[in-house]
Structure formats: C-alpha cells, structure tokens
Amino acid sequence: MTVEVKSAPPPLTARQEARRRRILHASAQLAGRGGFDAVQMREVAESSGVALGTLYRYFPSKIHLLVATMQDQLEHLHSTLRKRPPAGESAAERVAETLMRAFRALQREPQLADAMVRALTFADRSVSPEVDTVSRQTTAIVLEAMNLPGPPTPEQLAAVRVIEHTWYSTLITWLSGRASITQAGIDIETVCKLIDLTGPAGRDGPADPHYRR
C-alpha cells in the first residue's frame, strides 16, 4: 500500500484555476460591502457563474471560502509590503510600523476585514490547515519586518506569536466597535516592546534600543 501523507492536490486545469479566481473575487467583492453576512453562498455562486455544488467542491464551507479569501489578500499585502520595507530603527519599531500599515489597509475595507477575521476566529478544527497557513503567512511578514541578521531565537518566536495574538485580537475588538484605531495602535506598540525584551538577549539584537523614560 502506498502511504501518501501530504499528497499534493492534483494540478488544476486553466479553466479550473479561472473558476477558483472568479469565486475568490466574488467572495471579496461581496464581503467588501456587507461584510460576513453579505457573503452568501448562493450569491457567490451566482456572481462567479458557477453552480452551488461546484462552489462547495472548491471550498467545502463558507468559512473555508473566507479563510482562502484571507490567504489571497494576505499575499497581496505581503508583496506590497516587500516593495517598501519599514524604515524604523529597532525591530520593535519596524514591526509596529508594518502592523499599523496593515491596519490602515484593512481600514480602507472594514467590511472585508470583518468577514475575513470573523471567519478566521470562528473556524473550527476542520479548517485548521488553512488557518495555519494564514498564521504562517503572518509570521513571515512579522519576521521579515524584524529583519533579523540570522534565524530567530525561541524567545523571539515566542514574542512573535504573542504579537500575532495581539494583532488579531485588537483587530477583532476594533471591528466589533469596542476599541478605536488609536487604542489598537497603542496595544500594538505595547506588545512590540516584547521584542526589545528578547532582542538584546538574542544573538546580536537591534542597534541601540533606547527605552523611553
């Protein structure tokens, strides 16, 4: 018997790729106005010119669809960020700057952000692999912003995880109207100080972390 863990998905034909794109586009479109609730599976199917059953073949649930939409958007964001890397002095500053930039990007499409983030946090175990991909993408973005000279230490990875937790959580509280953008910014800056805490102890850390006060 052939054991085939992590079997690669069969490559999609051009038409299939196109369908997939149309679906993701329709999803983002509908989410853009109306947010989570406006992304109705029948609507997505119709706007992307695909039968409902087919939609479910490509994305086994609404949550899967929206998480995939998030992956898609994150890729855009990532490549945008790569073009103009953050300029801060310390790693903490650069990370905070990057996250705030991402925040402003989401601010321009709050409904889309709402749909994606709600899906992400509502996802149950059946969506773990996809959510994990999103998590890895986020980690990659943060690590890139830190611009470390070498591989991150375990402490730094721990700090990054906490930063991500905070990032998504502030996003949620902002989206549900329980915190202002300002508040979110403060929280992001607060958590980024953790980097300075691990940094100097790391291999050779950021240049001259000047603590205020």
**Which parts of this chain interact with its own copies (CB under 8 A)?**
36, 114, 118, 121-125, 127-128, 131-132, 135, 155, 158-159, 161-162, 164-166, 168-170, 172-173, 176-178, 186-187, 190-191, 193-194, 197, 201, 213
Residues from 1 through 60 that contact DNA (CB under 7 A): 10, 13, 15-16, 19, 37, 39-42, 49-54, 56-58, 60
CA nearest neighbour of 95 among 197, 172, 175, 173? 197
CA nearest neighbour of 172 among 184, 162, 160? 184
Query: Which parts of 84-180 fold into alpha helices (H)?
Result: 91-108, 110-122, 128-146, 154-175
Q: How far apart are CA 206 and CA 93, in angstroms?
A: 10
Which of DNA, its own copies, none binds 178 (CB below 5-8 Å, type-dependent)? its own copies
* Residue number with CB closer to its own copies (45 or 96): 96
Rg (CA), the chain: 19
DSSP character for 127?
G
Which of its own copies, DNA, none binds 194 (CB below 5-8 Å, type-dependent)? its own copies
Does position 118 interact with DNA (CB under 7 A)? The reply is: no
Cα 9 to chain center, whole Å?
23
**For binding to DNA (CB under 7 A), which residues are involved?**
10, 13, 15-16, 19, 37, 39-42, 49-54, 56-58, 60-63
